[in-house]
Amino acid sequence: MDSVDVFVSYAAADRSLAEDIVAALEAAGLTCWIAPRDIAPGTVYAEAISGAIATARLVLVVLSTHSNQSPHVRRELERATTRNLPMLVVKKDQTIPSLALEYFISDSQWFDATSGSLDLDHQALRERVGALLAGPPRAQDDLEHLRNDPAQATEARHKLLALDERVRDDPRNAEALRERGSLLARVHSFQAAIEDFDAAIALRPDDPISYFYLGLAHFNTGKYRAAVDDCDRALSLHADYFIAHYVKGIALSNLQQDEAAIKAYTAAIACAPDVSVVYRSRASSYQRLNRQDLALADLTAAVEAAPDQSGAYLDRGEQYLAFDRLDLAEADFRGALALQPSLAAAHRNLGNVLRQKGDLAGAVFHASEAIRLDPSDMKARLLRALSRSVMGENRVAIEDLDVILRHDSEWTELYSFRADNYRAIGHHGHALEDYSTAIARGYADAYRSRGATLFDAHRYSEAIDDLTKAIQHRPDDAEAYNWRGVALYATDKLDEALDDLNTAVALDPTLGIAHFNRGSTLKELGRPDEAASAYATARQLGVEMPATSGL
């Protein structure tokens, strides 16, 4: 579908005004999408709507008594909000936005059409739409951050000045206090916003909206218990206040009260069963409570509620990936990328799936895409390093590991992994240095690898010491016994070597190299029949036998 400038959202009863708006905008050369005009025959209505929003640059909504109660309009605005699209609210009458609708349009720009006709204001409408299309997708949240956007900063300041004047003229104007508090909260002046909301509530203690906004301000300052209490007060005045249930759930989740959060999310879903983000939030609580089937059901509901939202596919794909359902995870990550090709997390997760499925080149490609889109994504760099290491591209793997360790020098295990790559290219000095760093930081698993590297460097006594520590750390480590066995062999301690190699094959009968080394030791001890049997087992396990079977 080709991109369009403006998606028009309206209730059927407002069709005449909506078509008038489209005519005015298209006369100025702007492209518009409006149902049912732009729905091709045979197209599923919901899919056409979702696709149009996905390609739009701006959403214009006609606010009226009819759209205020329309679930279709609410769904369209929820999708637009998720995509961070700018909105223009064309006000047809004096309707106050419903509690469900206000959340999506509270920080949008407005255009007055209460006269019932746009004939006198076509040019003003075009200019307003043009300004929104020319500006950033969404105003910044802090006036200080608006210094590079003078128009936005000026508009915000003018609004604050106008509200200040209204409050000065009438200090008991609860609506003006609430509006000023809402604007202050949007520019991150939360304490001033809280004071305004408190004042508005003192004047109108029966206003659920002020309680909700107070709760939202408390939430944004990390006062989650106060946010829950405020949302409860709002809900005591309006039990079906969808967004109050939802914010209460998020606050409870931050308080690690997931059972209570689930109840709040469930109440929100009862009010608005088609809002994807609520299902995703409830799924997160189910995951923390290890109710994975319920989490998956909610993530599927999130996808069904918003099939045009990449985040829903991403979340469900991560759930599938956590339980090794790789084909389903891959399908969801590819679905997310089809909707949003620039989603770095989807590239990284898809790369992780491909690595587990053995497609290392594909893993490297998608990890590289994730890094290109988000150079700070260290998990993607680690994925690329892991894949390249297995592919034998150890030098470039080391480059990625260097970047990660510069970013986070405390990631202890990565020193050992980088050492593995140094060892693979014969840089024993660098390898020993990294293994020693890992061990000094408490990573005892590096003893075996450092011991093997010391063996490669013919430092057999030091190797035996490290491998002994590795065995003390993990008494069931067959490879550590194998390495200590060959180090003992190299120092002519054949009986001790045989004991270690016997232990290695007892712990892991499939460790072919241990059978081979055991055969060589038996041969050196003058036990040729037993040596031949050990060599035969090694050969069956795929060990390539040298012309002369010896260590």
Q: What is the DSSP string of 345-413?
A: HHHHHHHHHHHHTT-HHHHHHHHHHHHHH-TT-HHHHHHHHHHHHHTT-HHHHHHHHHHHHHH-TT-HH
Q: Which residues contact 92 (CB under 8 A, 6 or more apart)?
A: 14, 17, 62, 63, 64, 113, 114, 116
pLDDT, residue 116, reads 58
Q: Is the pLDDT of residue 183 over 90?
A: no
pLDDT of residue 529: 95
pLDDT of 147 above 60: no
What is the reported pLDDT for 110? 81
CA pair distance 87, 62, nearest whole angstrom: 11
pLDDT of residue 138: 34
Averaged pLDDT for residues 143-152:
49
**pLDDT higher than 60, residue 118:** no
* pLDDT computed for residue 141 by the predictor: 37
Residue 182 in contact with residue 190, Cβ under 8 Å?
no
> Which class would CATH give 4-138?
alpha beta
**pLDDT above 60 (res 418):** yes
| Statement: residue 372 has pLDDT above 50 | yes
pLDDT single digits (tens) 46-81: 778 888 888 899 999 999 989 988 888 988 888 888
Distance in angstroms (rounded) separating the CA atoms of residues 65 and 76: 17
In the sheet that holds 109-112, the strands lie side by side as 32-33, 4-9, 56-63, 87-91, 109-112
- Selected residue with higher pLDDT from 145 and 86: 86
C-alpha span between 260 and 265 (Å, rounded): 9
If we measure between CA atoms, which residue out of 285, 231, 289, 296 comes closest to residue 261?
A: 285
Element (H, E) at 331: helix 326-339
Q: What is the mean pLDDT of residues 260-270?
A: 96
Q: How many residues does the chain have?
A: 551
Q: What is the pLDDT of residues 519-532, one digit of tens each?
A: 999 999 999 999 99
What is the predicted pLDDT for the residue at 55?
A: 85
Predicted local confidence at residue 361, as pLDDT? 97
Local confidence band at 154 (pLDDT 50, 70, 90 cut-offs): low
* Reported CATH class of domain 476-551: mainly alpha
Global confidence as pTM = 0.70
Mean of pLDDT over the chain:
89
Predicted confidence band of residue 225 (pLDDT cuts 50, 70, 90): very high
Annotated domain spans of the chain: 4-138, 476-551
**What pLDDT band is residue 143 in, cutting at 50, 70 and 90?**
very low
DSSP for 46-91? Answer: HHHHHHHHHHEEEEEEEESHHHHT-HHHHHHHHHHHHTT--EEEEE
| Model confidence band, residue 135 (pLDDT cutoffs 50, 70, 90) | low
Residue 446 has which token pair? Answer: 């590096």
Which pLDDT score is estimated for 127?
78
Mean pLDDT of 231-246: 94
pLDDT at res. 136: 42
Contact 40, 48 (CB under 8 A): yes
Banded model confidence at residue 145, pLDDT cuts 50, 70, 90: very low
Q: Which of 186-195, 219-228, 325-334, 446-455 has the lowest mean pLDDT?
A: 186-195
| Mean pLDDT across 275-283 | 91
Mean pLDDT, residues 118-132: 73
24's CB contacts (< 8 A; 6+ apart) are: 118, 122, 125, 126
The rounded percent of the chain whose pLDDT value lies above 70 is: 93
**For residues 378-391, average pLDDT:** 96
pLDDT tops 60 at residue 282: yes
Same-fold call for 4-138 versus 476-551: no
How confident is residue 19, by pLDDT bands cut at 50, 70 and 90?
confident
Q: What is the mean pLDDT of residues 225-233?
A: 96
Q: pLDDT digits over 442-488, tens only?
A: 999 999 999 999 999 999 999 999 999 999 999 999 999 999 999 99
Q: What pLDDT was estimated at residue 310?
A: 87
For residue 168, the model assigns a pLDDT of 87
